[in-house]
């Protein structure tokens, strides 16, 4: 795996951890801001992943690619764990927001 791609995965993981910390603090504006940063990083990752890469031909390169794949897997698992906790923390906030919006709709009619 290209080191540049791993850098993107690591940056997404950092943003995910920052989002989780903001969610734990109840700072939903920051969560939304960081979510936008994640979207941009994911877009850049997708673009970088589409660029052709030279094929690995030696055993050392294959071993390095395997280690990079393992690292990518661990990063992805941490991102998913962060995401699950953020969603759990967001549920009450989203419920409150829905209730507030529902109250606004009733006063408009």
| 58-78 pLDDT, tens digit each | 788 788 888 989 999 999 999
Token pair for residue 79? Answer: 């991102």
Q: Domain range for residue 11?
A: 3-108
CATH classification of the domain holding 80:
1.20.58.380
For residue 107, what pLDDT is reported? 58
Q: Which helix (H) or strand (E) holds 66?
A: helix 59-108
Domain count, the chain: 1
The conformation of residue 57, written as its DSSP 8-state character, comes to: -
76-102 as b/e, with b when 16 or more CB fall inside 10 Å?
Answer: eeebeebeeebeebeeeeeeeeeeeee
| Tens-digit pLDDT profile for residues 18-35 | 999 999 999 999 999 999
Local confidence band at 54 (pLDDT 50, 70, 90 cut-offs): low
pLDDT-derived band of residue 98, with 50, 70 and 90 as boundaries? confident
pLDDT confidence bin for 96, thresholds 50/70/90: confident
Pick the closest to residue 38 from 20, 65, 64 (CA basis).
20
């Amino acid at each position: 795996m290209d080191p540049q791609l791993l850098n993107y995965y690591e940056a997404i993981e950092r943003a995910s951890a920052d989002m989780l910390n903001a969610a734990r603090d109840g700072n939903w504006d920051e969560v939304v801001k960081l979510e936008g940063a994640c979207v941009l990083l994911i877009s850049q990752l997708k673009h970088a992943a589409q660029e052709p890469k030279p094929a690995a031909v030696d055993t050392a390169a294959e071993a390095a690619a395997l280690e990079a794949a393992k690292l990518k897997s661990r990063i992805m698992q941490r991102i998913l764990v962060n995401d699950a906790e953020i969603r759990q923390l967001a549920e009450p906030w989203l419920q409150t927001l829905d209730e507030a919006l529902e109250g606004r709709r009733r006063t408009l009619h």
